[in-house]
């Protein structure tokens, strides 16, 4: 069994002040594969103190110095790609065939580096110099569904901005978090600049959120947990960047290529076993076309090869835990009980898999907007197909959600599609399955979050704004005023 007995604080591997550990269960084999150290509030306080001390020096590093640091981190990270891939297969059931989970983080590091290289830290507005400066110590809480990439995006943009960080990965993915700390250590990130404390949200996450020495909290996870972080952080009026839940709609217009829209929707919604905040889990189709699109959905859903994520031919692994599998099955049963038509999948264990937290790729049609599976985030491979009468009805259904993280539109009439795109209340919209861009911002409307990550907008989450007066030689000396 793998052992990860330490936290990473102030450049050293240390045991928790009250030594504790937890076992990580392999969701394919339903048995422990690793133990990891678990810290508490006192360990978080030590890490925050180390980050606070390091900030005074690190915040003065030149842009060139930070670019060079990111170079070292990328090089160190890329020596561990296979180790990361195998680890997250054991840890959270992500197939080794899903290379984006391990290659994506390096690409995000390079984007952050380019943003840093091109960023204007000083500009002028009238007679004022407007400066952008690192905000300070940042608490970073990342989830298990993108265990490396989400944590990397948070950390690399914070470091690029000149901030110091205390990272808390999900307990479910604490082993890959420890490996990321090893990468930072090998890259010779200065002591105290990057710290990692495993632990629960109730202990470590709450301590970071409440700490007066933490200037900013970046959290990715459920909307419920995001509310808790927000409430705790409000005590010290710190900045928040939250990426929370989603129930994204894919509006398939009547003139769309139905087969293309259907197959793409299944692949995007069921990617990562459906454990993705941006998954298009509501597919909106004109009432007259639901039957026509269903055959493509069923065929594409049945093409997934479920099995051991360490097998390179597997395209869908298990969900992360027994509790997650139970929650998904309960929601599938609610769809059946509330009258939706189950066209493929269901609550049973997939054929040929006698153990593991596997969920059959599941598609419902005849779903109405008031059904549970149409409103709650399932976070599993479950698609709800909802019929609409006209474009206005489709927009109304799509926007009738607490969430507004992502949105998707398929069609051939660009003017009509643009009208729908502009009307959707969501932070990131894709037309006809277009790929996203790591330079552009990601974030949500409504209860899907606050703030943005990635690219220039994500970089600025880690910067404060300072206006400076009196250094413009052309400006007249005016009486000082205060506000």
Active site residues: 243, 277
Sign of CA dihedral 387, 392, 395, 398: negative
Residue spans of beta strands (DSSP E) within 392-476: 403-404, 406-410, 428-431, 445-446, 449-450, 463-468
Token pair for 75: 């090089």
Residue tagged 């599941």 (tokens)? 362
Q: For residue 317, how many C-alpha atoms fall within 13 Å in the half-sphere facing its CB?
A: 28
From CA 32, how far away is CA 23, in angstroms rounded?
Answer: 6
- Torsion angle defined by CA atoms of residues 242, 151, 215 and 159, in that order, rounded to the nearest 10 degrees: -130
Instruction: Report the SS3 class of residue 482.
Output: coil
Burial 319-347 (b: 16+ CB within 10 A, else e): bbbeebbebbbebbeebeeeebeebbbeb
From CA 183, how far away is CA 156, in angstroms rounded?
Answer: 12
From CA 11, how far away is CA 387, in angstroms rounded?
Answer: 56
**Contact present, 369 and 397 (Cβ < 8 Å):** yes
**Contact present, 426 and 405 (Cβ < 8 Å):** yes
Nearest 5°: phi and psi at 397? -65, -45
Nearest 5°: phi and psi at 217? -120, 130
Which residues, listed in sequence order, are joined to residue 387 by a DSSP beta bridge? 285
Q: What is the DSSP letter of 280?
A: -
**Contact present, 382 and 330 (Cβ < 8 Å):** no
């Amino acid at each position: 069994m793998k052992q990860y007995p330490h936290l990473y604080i102030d450049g050293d591997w240390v045991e928790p002040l009250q030594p504790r550990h937890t076992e990580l269960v392999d969701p394919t084999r339903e048995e422990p594969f690793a133990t990891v150290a678990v810290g508490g509030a006192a360990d978080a306080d030590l890490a925050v103190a180390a980050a606070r001390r390091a900030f005074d020096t690190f915040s003065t590093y030149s842009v060139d110095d930070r670019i060079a640091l990111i170079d070292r981190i990328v090089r160190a990270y890329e020596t561990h790609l296979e180790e990361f891939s195998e680890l997250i297969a054991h840890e959270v059931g992500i197939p080794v065939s899903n290379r984006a989970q391990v290659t994506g983080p390096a690409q995000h590091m390079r984007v952050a580096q380019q943003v840093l290289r091109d960023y204007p830290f000083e500009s002028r507005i009238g007679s004022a110099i407007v400066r952008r400066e690192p905000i300070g110590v940042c608490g970073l809480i990342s989830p298990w569904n993108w265990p490396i990439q989400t944590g990397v995006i948070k950390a690399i943009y914070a470091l690029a901005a000149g901030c110091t960080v205390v990272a808390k990965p999900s307990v479910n993915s604490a082993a890959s978090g420890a490996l990321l700390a090893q990468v930072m250590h090998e890259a010779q990130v200065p002591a105290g600049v990057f710290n990692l404390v495993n632990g629960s949200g109730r202990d470590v996450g709450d301590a970071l959120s409440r700490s007066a020495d933490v200037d900013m909290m970046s959290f990715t996870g459920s909307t419920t947990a995001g509310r808790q972080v927000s409430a705790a952080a409000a005590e010290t009026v710190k900045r928040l960047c939250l990426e929370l839940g989603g129930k994204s709609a894919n509006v398939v217009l009547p003139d769309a290529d139905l087969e293309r829209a259907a197959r793409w929707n299944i692949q995007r919604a069921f990617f990562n076993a459906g454990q993705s905040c941006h998954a298009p889990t509501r597919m909106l189709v004109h009432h007259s076309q639901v039957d026509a699109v269903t055959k493509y959905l069923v065929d594409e859903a049945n093409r997934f090869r479920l099995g051991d994520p360490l097998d390179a031919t597997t395209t869908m692994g298990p969900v992360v835990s027994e509790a997650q599998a139970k929650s998904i099955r309960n929601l599938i049963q609610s769809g059946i009980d509330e009258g939706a038509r189950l066209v493929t999948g269901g609550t049973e264990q997939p054929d040929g898999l006698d153990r593991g937290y596997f969920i059959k790729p599941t598609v419902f049609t005849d779903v109405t907007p008031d059904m549970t599976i149409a409103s709650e985030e399932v976070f599993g491979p479950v698609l709800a197909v909802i019929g609409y009468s006209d474009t206005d009805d489709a927009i109304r259904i799509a926007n009738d959600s607490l969430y507004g993280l992502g949105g998707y539109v398929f069609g051939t009439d660009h003017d009509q599609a643009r009208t729908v795109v502009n009307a959707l209340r969501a932070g990131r919209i894709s037309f006809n399955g277009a790929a996203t861009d790591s330079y552009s911002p990601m974030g949500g409307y409504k209860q899907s979050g606050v703030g943005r990550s990635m690219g220039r907008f994500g970089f600025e989450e880690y910067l404060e704004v300072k206006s400076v007066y009196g250094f413009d030689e052309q400006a007249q000396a005016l009486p000082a005023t205060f506000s």
